[in-house]
Chain A
Amino acid sequence: MTTLRDLLTRQREYGVLALLLLTLAVVGAINPAFLKIGNLRDMLVQDAPVVIVACGMTLVVVLGEIDISVGSQMALLATVLGLLTSPSHAHWPVATAVAAALGLGTLLGLINGLLVTFGRMPSIIVTLGMLTVLRGVSLALLNGQDITDLPVGLRVFGIGTFLGLPISLCTALVVVGLTVALARETPLGRRIYAAGSNPEAARLAGLPTPRLKLFAFTLTGFLTAVATIVHQTQFSVIQAGVGQGFELLVVTAVVVGGTSISGGRGTILGSFLSALMLGMVGSMLIFLRLGVSATYWERAIQGAFILVAVLADHLARQRRPRREAAP
């Protein structure tokens, strides 16, 4: 028997979706401007990079690992993209530079994956190191100066539209669609969930867990490059602080979306919906007209969602039958 409470606690997607719709309804009722197409589009465009990277991060976390270097990856990728395309620097053709950024993102993810799997180091430490190193490299490359002359050909990715929708939004939807299919409909996806669910059983079933982890980290690096290309090009300047705190937004979206930090459980759809919900918090505070000081509560509210999500997880687990074998 599936009860409503089961649905809301076990299938986190439904809980997050309900909260998302409730927020839209309540804030919309108080201030109808919140529901205007322009505002909804702005919110979605803002969420796009978090959504894109969360798709890869979900698989990483399902495997029992984490990647907290994606913010710094984004900083380095944006810096490289800017330096390569800027007329006052390398001035490469946009297409070549974009391909280089995608390649570099993939490589960064691969390095994380190799250090975790073959280096046998905990991913939180590896990616903490990478977080600092990559941030440092991008600061050194920028050499104290912002890049202000991004070519229009590059900025199209950030400000252009496809079929009337912003490119970043289209890209995010395509990435969600593809990774959902990967997770659900391919052997690779199911093996990732299996390896995260019970590593010992995965070993006995002959699953190549290290290769699965390598794949998840590499995919996350690649998607971070995609996110950088469609997001950072919205702005006319690339500065030193790019992507700071981005990793926390992504990890928050994944955890609030129902992915268990101990692995095995979690869906990309859940991460997607919770990224949208978390992204709405800031805008919501503005539209509720609580005054300027209210908007400073954005991070506190996002953080509280993590605690609520973890608590919900804990309560849901207590209701499940015990996993230990009886004598």
Chain B
Amino acid sequence: MTSTTPFVQISGLSKAYGGVPALTDVSLTIEAGDVHALMGENGAGKSTLIKCLSGVLSPSAGEVRVDGSILAPGDLRAAERAGIAALHQESTAFPHLDAVDNIFVGRELRRPGGLLDRPRMKRETQALLDRLGERIDLNRPLEELPLAQRQMVGLARALSQRSRLLIMDEPTASLSTRETEILFRIIRQLQSEGVAILYISHRLEEVFALASRVTVLRDGRLVETRPLAEITRDGLVRLMVGRELLAEEQSEDYAAQGEAILEVRHLTRAGQYHNISLDVRAGEIVGLAGLIGAGRSEVATAIFGIEPPDTGTVAIQGQVLPPGSVPAAIARGVALVPEDRQKQGLVLPLSVGSNLLLAVMKSLTTRGFRSPRKEQETVARLMQGLSVKAAGPAIAANTLSGGNQQKLSLGKWLATKPRVLILDEPTRGVDVGAKAEVYRLIRRLAREGMATLLISSDLPEILALSDRILVMRQGQIAGELARQDATEEKILALALPSGPQEALI
């Protein structure tokens, strides 16, 4: 390698999913022996970038050069041959296989004759794990091992490839302090051997401790690449947030707030969330912010009775709900609009009308039989109230746009006349116009006295809608911000973990 050719050069990389751009014209270079941090908010395009780089995805445009020669796009094996290995964030382990098989499957060591060379694979596995300072039962399937050990096996797999560029996506997410320290030591050792590392993390301390340069992505675009020596923690947060708020998204009026409708006290579930207490008043919209994995959706499912908490209570207008009972929650007026409307919120092949009636079917009957008249009235009332753009109540829900589907998903619950509305990412994948309509709907419901708990990773959305903002970090409420004091920087400062911490028990 000559000194003028960068080790890895990414030029003009773009990727769109079904017309929606996830990554637009991103260029950056990674030098050998460098720890290069990649940062950005949820959905900024980090995962898409590393998937293009490691050959999992084929980019829509742009190229990756390693040592000056173009890497075949979307070819995992080519990326592997070029020395690129990735430690992906999502579980890439094979739960039914043991550590040895997990590390070597696809690149098995063989004896002459083609059979597996188990003794050698076992020895190498042991050597890799020794290097990571981890003692793992090699005869147990991975699903029986603790999460941190599974993660270490994943790391061992990446190390076994003797890669020259190691991509690590949130590698410390489930590691303890001790394991994180071992990981850092390994990273520094690899670095001294000339291995380049692309390090993705939300933890600013880790980035400042390890990396020499940082690249920030926002909304799928490159914001800047800078040496970390030239930037402060606050400066980095500003780069990540960066965007200006759209004035029209700001709420114009404050709803009059009444009594506390939803009262959550000391909700705890091991490994997910800890000691969560919050109130939502009639007419109030409370934003619940935090990083993905902070435990927000888990709290929502606990309130709604899907997964009961270990301890703690949920009360509606002073009456405690039996834990883990969805029917009881619905009967007391709680509605949850889930994150994934296609899988959890709607029955897509059914008609618009049928979807709106799903939650209230039973109350619209006459002597146990469905009553077409009552059903039609309800559907007509809801469609008008929601301003759903559909040719009619009989067309299939999957023909509607994302925004209109989201309105249906919301409207289904409005039919039950709820008092508490929990919204989980209500505008994910919804275009700007429809977003504004969903916002108007949420505000109107609040004015009519709805107590709303809004979970969103979209900070401008949280800021535009919420009367109060609670920020969750690693399963706990890290702080509360009143709407007049809240800024994206303040939310992010509360949401970002301040350093390697013990994983939740």
Contacts and interface: CB of A to CB of B under 8 A. Distances in A.
Interface of A: 181, 185-187, 190-191, 193-194, 196-198, 200-207, 264-265, 320-323, 325-327
Interface string B71-97: 000001100100000101011111111
A96 B93 CA distance: 47
Contact of A201 (B77, B91, B116, B144): B91
B92 A265 contact: no
Given A194-B106, A327-B294, A327-B475, A204 B92 contact: yes
Contacts of B92: 198, 200-201, 204-205
Contact of A190 (B97, B143, B145, B146): B97
A197 B94 contact: yes
A194 B105 contact: yes
Contacts of B86: 204
Contacts of A201: 91-94
B110 A193 contact: no
B272 A327 contact: yes
B380 interface: no
Contacts of B116: 185-187, 190
Interface in B225-248: none
B77 A193 contact: no
Interface string B273-304: 10000000000000000000111001000000
Given A190-B116, A201-B93, A264-B94, A326 B77 contact: no
A197 B105 CA distance: 12
B147 to A, nearest CB: 6
Given A187-B116, A204-B88, A325-B147, A198 B93 contact: yes
29 contacts: A186-B116, A187-B108, A190-B108, A191-B106, A194-B101, A196-B96, A197-B95, A197-B96, A197-B97, A200-B92, A202-B94, A204-B76, A204-B88, A205-B76, A205-B92, A205-B106, A206-B76, A206-B106, A207-B106, A264-B94, A264-B95, A320-B144, A321-B143, A321-B145, A325-B147, A326-B147, A326-B174, A327-B271, A327-B475
B112 interface: no
B115 A323 contact: no
Contact of B504 (A187, A196, A326): A326
Given A186-B116, A187-B116, A327-B294, A193 B91 contact: no
A320 B146 CA distance: 10
B114 interface: yes
Contacts of B475: 327
A265 B504 CA distance: 30
Contacts of A327: 271-273, 293-295, 298, 474-475, 504
B499 to A, nearest CB: 16
A181 B114 CA distance: 12
Among B56, B90, B94, B110, chain A packs the most CB atoms within 10 A around the CB of B94
Contact of B105 (A181, A191, A203, A320): A191
A7 B115 CA distance: 28
A325 B91 contact: yes
B503 interface: yes
Contact of B94 (A187, A198, A321, A325): A198
A184 to B, nearest CB: 8
B94 A186 contact: no
Contacts of B145: 321
Contacts of B77: 206
A265 B96 contact: yes
A206 B90 CA distance: 16
B106 A193 contact: no
Nearest to B115: A185
Contacts of B173: 325
A215 B213 CA distance: 47
B78 to A, nearest CB: 10
Specify which of A193, A197, A200, A202 lies most central, judged by the most chain B CB atoms within 10 Å of its CB: A197
Contacts of A193: 94, 96-97, 101
Interface centre among B115, B173, B295 (most CB of A within 10 A): B115
A180 B356 CA distance: 53
B294 to A, nearest CB: 6
Given A185-B115, A321-B145, 14 more contacts: A186-B116, A190-B101, A190-B108, A190-B116, A191-B105, A193-B96, A194-B101, A200-B90, A201-B91, A201-B94, A204-B92, A264-B95, A321-B143, A326-B503
B351 to A, nearest CB: 25
